[in-house]
Chains A and B, each alone.
Chain A
């Protein structure tokens, strides 16, 4: 078989048909493209959100070899000389770094929602030492003596910068946007205070490095230490081994020395580890999103399969002729595959373009969620990535090939010159796929899988692979069963046929449903099941959250720095401020929270300091496993006790009574888990200890938030307004306002999942139309006969509508049935295994009824349209 013949076959075979039915081909490509676009846009958005979690210090110096960081909180700056002492005269550079966050002060009348304003990264580096890295790159790094060409700025010299505790360097674009000039002022919310910083210059851009992001601000490290109240402390030391012939050996040796010297007082990692931290943190979230984004493609595959299979039936005569002309099976199969691949390629390319455009929108949603739940991301646009692009096109082509597999085999099996009637022999989805026992077997296997444990990976990532497999089997099994039920439904509806010719016609077709009908029903079922399953999950989440909020948020006022716009914000409340507020005559009771990131068993988690007695007085913790001993509420006796969140127990596989070794700047503390509480705010888990001990261990009293109960007779709104006026850098929320904010952030994180689901449903409804069109084409002989017998076009359209309605109803009903199971699976298996959250089952009956009604109505309407088109088909037109 030569290449020319392949080309000829493809041309004669595929192209001719495509040209003959351009709309159908276009629809098929569009369906594939839509599926790919959804997937691709989510991938790009994910990538952008993760990429923005980066090491800003590397923008100023070179990439480090190792990073020394604290297992808990911050490192004392004395580690610098200790590290230097341990390294001796080895040619290694040390770059200490402190990072914090800030925000622009709220503008009058500005958006008050949390997360509405950008989080600025305050990067503190030793501006003296950074000159060395700059010099190594050939100098040219003009930090000092900058003036502003357009305005009469005052140059800040070398010493001016070091001796000005408020000197700040800003990105060029921010300077432009905010009208900043050298010597001018930048008002910023640092911790809970609005401070005026002095613009010392623009952050110099380095050749070969990306421009600093608009939200990066650079200060001299001692200046940032004093500004943020983190005196004598640093986040990390970046360690860079000098380039040269002995570098590799020295690099390894350096790591050993660092690890040996630090013991358990510090962690030694690579910049890759650090970048990976951002990925690890959001991995579960991104994985779920990616899987959701595949729904549309999965539903699309049903359609591609349908379409190719339909084409096999319609072109069977041609194939038979080709076979009798000596064309081998292999060549026929190759021609079909080529056709499927071409469809996949077209869909993939088009979908990638669409997806790229879509990503510019989805990145905002993904970014917002990442911002709210994980860390401050500055992702505003999603760049096109070549590997992702190739991946998406590859996925499209392989998906089309998978869908084209059976049709290609079917085509190749056509005997030579067989003369056959168009729908005598072939029946897609035959064999086990049309048998109820097979569907039941699939579903049964799924049930077994649903009870399997998740796969566990490094960094505490759990992937509920068996859970996902169970979901897939239930969807497939449900599809098979629903397809099988079509005939039964037709028989049930038989009385309708007694009075109406269109119904009679529709039911006749459905009593012996073609594989195509079954596939359409299964495709719809897939889309509905997943959408409704997700809706059940969200409803359950919502219900659980509301209950949790009801229980957890009982205080009158909640205070945090107004600069805390993201989950990773470092803005704190100075002890002088929170003490003053706590002493206010209107305050009846209060609790201040301190937080620090700690690494336990190699995984990052959150350590919270709070007055534990407060949790007993006001019961803000919803216990899953309540403490059995009152001693844990007594500061004199609870130094060795901790409460942990449910997510913590899942992630670390611990329970009440177990001991955790928690690192602190003053050494490891062994804590016994005295109670487990529900927490839906943090999937990394949290450990809560008595704040008094926390402050002692960490050597500071910077609060992350403050909770107030007011004395009777003090209206929360009045006190709120008073505090907000006295402390313009604090965000003071009343109870009602905070509940609203929490629910808003929560629903915001689900907005994108709804969008993904709906696209799946749209594809499925389009698929129903495509199926009916295909069925009518195959039946066009019958249609001609009916027309000849005097059946009106409208009646034929109504017949198609009835047929479509029944398929839509079956698919929807089956989908709802499977969704109930999927909802259970999502809540009790997938979500629990991934995030460690127990949810109460909520069933959004009204929403699901609306969805079902909409799908059946739309399906019927589409079928009616297709019917009208089918009724006008000429008897002998090709396709």
Chain B
């Protein structure tokens, strides 16, 4: 659910309108898109591909990379597909101009120089952006993510930030695919339509090349990939999101999100999930885990004040005791200011420390909904 905040802004009005009005058919939104249903049988590689039945969908990869010489990088690549609102539900879709819009974000943090590169891009489906239906193959301009080998699940990702930096990575799963939520549906709010199919590769071995300027660096590392599919996932009254994926050195992983309501409280649909070494998942509700800001950074660009130092308190599982993890950013300035009219958010590589201050893993932290003035012009 990491990046849904942005999507909400892209189609906020339609979501609000349609999310409420789905009483007639519980499997469809008012504008005719599918609502995630429990018990869906996923088929791969087909379900890695695009689902035009649903209104919105995204593929999201983050990770930590390191060169042989110890130079560390953080990277992010997100590909969105958004079908947009249907103006007249009575006579929909093959009318003029109904191609979905594809939006994408790419970012790279070079810890050696502290430079954070990022770029966003928007394109119309079929013109300079695409998402295959039968397998994972998404593209926006020259950025792409595709399944290279269906058997091993090996993927290829390439992205760049203008002519300043680029990366080309092979990503191989070392842990099986995880389906978050109950019976294949991850609920995001009180409205039954506010839900998604949430598929994740929590551990991908990354190998490839990072180019900063013209200088290529061979890198290896660990990545995380989400694929979410839905049509209307937000409730009114939700203000934003704090989300993190944590990859511990002991082979276990954590995914946690806190949904912030406009009144400052934590939404009941906030979740923490433990992913065991074998891929087994256990979900916990907001009363069972803790999320606490331990430090802030104020963006000079947007003025947003991000709580980007976080303490996560996770319940114990499988006999292990409850534990505290401190997420500490590798660089403060990892804000993506989206000039395409979306909303700025903070998405950054963090190191993970335990209660004694010992490094125990790596994380990516996403903080969204801290900049006011939602993107009305994308309405």
Contact = CB atoms under 8 A, between A and B. Distances in A.
A87 B378 CA distance: 30
Contact of A223 (B96, B142, B159, B214): B96
B162 A91 contact: yes
A244 interface: yes
Interface stretch (A129-137, A169-177, A385-393, A524-532): A129-137
Given A84-B128, A84-B142, A132 B97 contact: no
B379 A132 contact: no
A238 interface: no
Interface residues of A, number: 46
Interface string A127-168: 011011011101100101100000000000111101111000
A136 B121 CA distance: 10
B163 A246 contact: yes
Nearest to A145: B377
Interface string A88-115: 1111111010000000000000000000
Contacts of A92: 142
A163 B162 contact: no
A138 B339 contact: yes
Nearest to B87: A163
A414 B379 CA distance: 89
A96 B127 CA distance: 9
B377 A222 contact: no
Contacts of B85: 159
B59 interface: no
Interface in B143-191: 143-144, 158-160, 162-164, 166, 168
A91 B127 contact: no
A250 B159 CA distance: 16
B376 interface: yes
A80 interface: yes
Contacts of A242: 160, 162-163
Point out which of A90, A245, A247 has the most chain B C-beta atoms below 10 A from its C-beta: A245
B270 to A, nearest CB: 31
A132 B130 CA distance: 17
Contacts of B341: 131, 139, 144, 158
Contact of B124 (A126, A159, A250): A126
A87 B139 CA distance: 13
A131 B340 contact: yes
B98 interface: yes
B141 interface: yes
B377 A158 contact: yes
A69 B341 CA distance: 32
Contacts of A165: 96-97
B220 interface: no
A93 B141 contact: yes
A243 B127 contact: no
A163 B142 CA distance: 26
B124 A129 contact: yes
Contacts of A324: none
A607 to B, nearest CB: 29
A87 B159 CA distance: 13
Point out which of A77, A92, A135 has the most chain B C-beta atoms below 10 A from its C-beta: A135
Interface string B9-26: 000000000000000000
A91 B160 contact: yes
Point out which of A136, A142, A162, A241 has the most chain B C-beta atoms below 10 A from its C-beta: A162
A500 interface: no
Nearest to A167: B97
Given A93-B141, A162-B97, A163-B96, A128 B160 contact: no
A701 interface: no
A142 B375 CA distance: 12
A646 interface: no
A683 interface: no
Contacts of B99: 222
A94 B101 CA distance: 16
Given A132-B121, A245-B163, A89 B142 contact: yes
Contacts of A601: none
A562 interface: no
A89 B163 contact: no
A87 B121 CA distance: 18
B168 to A, nearest CB: 7
A245 B214 contact: yes
A119 to B, nearest CB: 26
Contacts of A144: 341, 377-378
A129 B122 contact: yes
A309 interface: no
A723 B183 CA distance: 69
Contacts of B377: 142, 144-145, 157-158
Interface string A192-225: 0000000000000000000000000000101100
Contacts of B160: 89, 91, 242
B286 interface: no
Contact of A243 (B98, B128, B162): B162
B62 interface: no
Nearest to B213: A245
B128 A94 contact: yes
A90 B211 CA distance: 12
Contacts of A747: none
A129 B87 contact: no
A619 interface: no
B338 to A, nearest CB: 8
A226 interface: yes
A165 B87 CA distance: 13
Nearest to A249: B214
A88 to B, nearest CB: 7
B294 to A, nearest CB: 33
A250 B163 contact: yes
Contacts of A128: 101, 122-124, 127
Interface in B102-153: 120-124, 127-128, 130, 139, 141-144
Given A138-B339, A250-B163, A129 B128 contact: yes
B163 A91 contact: yes
A89 B143 contact: yes
Contacts of B162: 91, 136, 242-244
B52 interface: no
Nearest to A92: B142
A129 B376 contact: no
Contacts of B98: 163
B168 A89 contact: yes
Contacts of A89: 142-144, 158-160, 166, 168
Contacts of B101: 128, 162
Given A89-B144, A129-B122, A246-B163, A135 B339 contact: yes
Interface in B325-366: 339-341
A160 B341 CA distance: 16
Contacts of B213: 244-246
B339 A139 contact: yes
A139 B341 CA distance: 8
Nearest to A77: B127
B307 interface: no
Interface string B194-238: 000000000000000000011000000000000000000000000
Contact of B122 (A87, A131, A244): A131
Contacts of B164: 244-245
15 contacts: A80-B127, A87-B142, A89-B166, A89-B168, A91-B162, A96-B127, A129-B127, A135-B339, A136-B162, A136-B339, A144-B377, A160-B87, A222-B97, A243-B162, A245-B164
Interface of B: 84-85, 87, 95-99, 101, 120-124, 127-128, 130, 139, 141-144, 158-160, 162-164, 166, 168, 213-214, 339-341, 376-379
Given A128-B123, A138-B339, 20 more contacts: A80-B128, A84-B128, A91-B142, A94-B128, A128-B122, A129-B127, A129-B128, A132-B122, A132-B340, A134-B339, A135-B340, A136-B162, A145-B377, A157-B377, A157-B379, A158-B378, A159-B379, A160-B87, A244-B213, A247-B163
The 5 closest A-B pairs by CB, nearest first: A244-B163, A139-B339, A135-B339, A89-B158, A242-B163
